[in-house]
């Protein structure tokens, strides 16, 4: 049978991305244009700037994805586009472009949920490694916008192929900040700028035996014990900094370094006291502990053998190592996408579009952006 080649388009937040994926599994190209340099000076994503930048980048990004896959637009069998959740203005750029392409080429348009895309990213990765993942699984999606746990099953128990639809049940979610948001806010408090995850990840690893100047215990959750909460942790860091004014000079020194464009790890590390490094490591320990313990305990409770982790924070090295080590002890299998497939990309959107195309779940010209599209 001929391959079904889907063009995926992603523009829900601050990356403009396009990719070609064959039969829901084989990545022929994946192009991501990040806007981090634009949003950095504002300390976070500015929605108006994001949509303007998507508008500027979408055409060249799609063209590049086609070139890398050695294809013309006419060779595309369908177009998968992120419908939500995300920033409405940003989503609309991808949706409008997707609609126009589908209409002019006479090809089907497939609406995709961004979170479902993140789950498919793990399957794309497993396929690359020649591993076939077994459902049901517990899936943790952990990014700057989301921290949520799902149980994922095939809709029809007998179907395990790439064209099978899945069903989702939400087991838990954050009640306040997403984990990536906590990284970004703590990073800002400490003078490391935006985004916070990658730099704090590296600094925590460089902390060595620096003593933790404060201890953050496990977060107690009333009600659903699979829910998360990260705003208390961020507030605890804030209070700790307020009570200990001696952090102030180094925070200002780092802010001055950032203003000069010096934001690399090697440039910032010398501006960190051992106390700061100990604090960062303690913060990361707390985030990782919450994510790992709640995910694994829900898998154990449900009797599900597989745990999938996806989203920007899944790039965190300590999170990966701790998941792997803890899962081994519990006899669970854990899977992550590669770093490139962890953060927002369009290959995961094209992959998620494939089973929907196979099952004729298509959109027409009335497709609209949905800021808080539910996954099921
Ligand atoms: O999935 P993503 O690219 O975009 C969203 O949908 O949010 O995730 C971005 C988030 C940011 O909050 C960033 O600080 C965080 O992921 N992040 C990390 C790491 N790399 C990115 N957090 C912790 N450790 C990392 N290595
Ligand atoms: Zn995302």
* pLDDT tens string 188-216: 999 999 999 999 999 999 999 999 999 99
Closest Cα to atom 1 of ligand 1 = 312
Tell me the pLDDT band of 160, cut-offs 50, 70 and 90. Answer: confident
β-strand pairing of 78-84 with 109-113: parallel
What residue owns the CA closest to ligand 1's atom 7? 144
- Tell me the percentage of the chain whose pLDDT exceeds 70: 99
Q: Average the pLDDT over 246-262 and give the result.
A: 97
> How high is the mean pLDDT of the chain?
96
Q: How far are the Cα atoms of 25, 250, 329, 356 from residue 111, in angstroms, in the given order?
A: 18, 48, 40, 8
Q: What is the mean pLDDT of residues 22-31?
A: 97
**Rounded to an integer, what distance in angstroms lies between the CA atom of residue 219 and that of residue 152?**
26
When pLDDT is averaged across residues 46-67 and rounded to a whole number, the result is 96
Bridge partners (DSSP) listed for residue 310: 141
pTM: 0.95
Question: Could you tell which of 183, 323, 345 is best to mutate to test the pocket of ligand 1, judged by most ligand atoms within 8 Å of the CB?
Answer: 183
pLDDT of residue 43: 86
pLDDT of residue 5: 98
pLDDT of residue 225: 94
Question: How is 228-278 classified by DSSP, letter by letter?
Answer: B--HHHHHHHHHHHHH-GGGHHHHHHHHHHHHTT--SHHHHGGG--HHHHH
Burial status of residue 340 (CB atoms within 10 A of its CB: 0-12, 13-18, 19 or more): middle
| pLDDT higher than 70, residue 376 | no
Give Cα 53 distance to the centre of its chain. Answer: 20
User: Do β-strands 15-22 and 26-34 pair in parallel, antiparallel, or remain unpaired?
Assistant: antiparallel
Pocket of ligand 1 (CB under 6 A): 13, 143-145, 180, 183-184, 195-198, 201, 311-313, 315-316, 343-344
Residue 183 — pLDDT band, cuts 50, 70, 90? very high
Distance 212 CA to ligand 1 centre (A): 24
Ligand nearest to the CA of 200: 1
Atom 16 of ligand 1, nearest CA residue: 312
134 against 307, higher pLDDT: 307
Q: Could you tell me the distance, in angstroms and rounded to a whole number, from the CA of residue 312 to the centre of ligand 1? A: 3
Mean pLDDT over 89-117 rounds to: 98
pLDDT in tens, 295-353: 999 999 999 999 999 999 999 999 999 999 999 999 999 999 999 999 999 999 999 99
Alpha carbon of 71 to ligand 2 centroid (Å): 27
Which H or E element spans position 204?
Answer: helix 197-205
CA 289, 294, 296, 300 torsion: positive or negative? Answer: positive
Q: Which residues contact 37 (CB under 8 A, 6 or more apart)?
A: none
Structure tokens, 270: 């010398």
Going by pLDDT thresholds of 50, 70 and 90, the confidence category of residue 159 is confident
- Three-state secondary-structure class, residue 180: helix
Residues 52-81: what's their mean pLDDT?
Answer: 97
CA–CA dist 325, 329 (Å, integer):
7
Provide the 8-state DSSP code for 363.
Answer: B
Q: What residue has token string 């609609």?
A: 99
By alpha-carbon position, which residue is closest to atom 8 of ligand 1? 312
Q: Which residue has the tokens 């979610």?
A: 173
pLDDT at 157 over 90: no
Give the count of beta carbons closer than 10 Å to the beta carbon of residue 324.
Answer: 15
């Amino acid at each position: 049978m001929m391959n079904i080649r889907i063009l995926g388009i992603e523009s829900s937040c601050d990356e403009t991305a396009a990719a070609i994926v064959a039969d829901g599994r084989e990545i022929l190209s994946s192009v991501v244009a990040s806007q981090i340099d634009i949003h950095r000076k504002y300390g976070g994503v500015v929605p108006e700037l994001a949509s303007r930048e998507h508008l500027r980048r979408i055409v060249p990004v799609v063209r590049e994805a086609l070139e890398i896959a050695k294809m013309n637009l006419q060779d595309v069998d369908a177009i998968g586009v992120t419908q939500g959740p995300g920033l409405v203005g940003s989503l609309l750029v991808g949706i409008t472009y997707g609609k126009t392409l589908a209409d002019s080429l006479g090809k089907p348009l497939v609406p995709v949920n961004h979170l479902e895309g993140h789950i498919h990213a793990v399957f794309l990765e497993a396929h690359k490694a020649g591993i076939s993942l077994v459902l049901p699984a517990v899936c943790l999606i952990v990014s700057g916008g989301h921290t949520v746990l799902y149980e994922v099953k095939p809709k029809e128990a007998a179907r395990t192929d790439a064209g099978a639809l899945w069903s989702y049940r939400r087991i838990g979610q954050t009640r306040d900040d997403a984990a990536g948001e906590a990284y970004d806010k703590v990073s800002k408090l400490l003078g490391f700028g935006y985004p916070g995850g990658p730099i704090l990840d590296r600094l925590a690893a460089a902390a060595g035996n620096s003593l933790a100047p404060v201890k953050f215990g496990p977060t107690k959750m009333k009600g659903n014990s699979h829910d998360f909460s990260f705003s208390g942790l961020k507030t605890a860091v804030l209070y700790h900094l307020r009570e200990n004014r001696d952090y102030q000079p180094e925070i200002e020194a780092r802010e001055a370094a950032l203003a000069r464009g010096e934001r690399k790890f090697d440039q910032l590390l010398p501006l960190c006291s051992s106390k700061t490094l100990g604090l960062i490591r303690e913060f990361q320990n707390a985030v990782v502990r919450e994510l790992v313990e709640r995910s694994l305990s829900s898998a154990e409770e449900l009797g599900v053998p597989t745990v999938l982790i996806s989203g920007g924070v899944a790039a965190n090295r300590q999170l990966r190592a701790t998941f792997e080590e803890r899962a081994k002890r519990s006899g669970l299998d854990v899977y992550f996408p590669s770093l490139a497939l962890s953060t927002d990309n369009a290959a995961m959107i094209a992959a998620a579009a494939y089973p929907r195309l196979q099952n004729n779940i298509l959109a027409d010209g009335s497709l609209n952006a949905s800021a808080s599209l539910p996954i099921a």
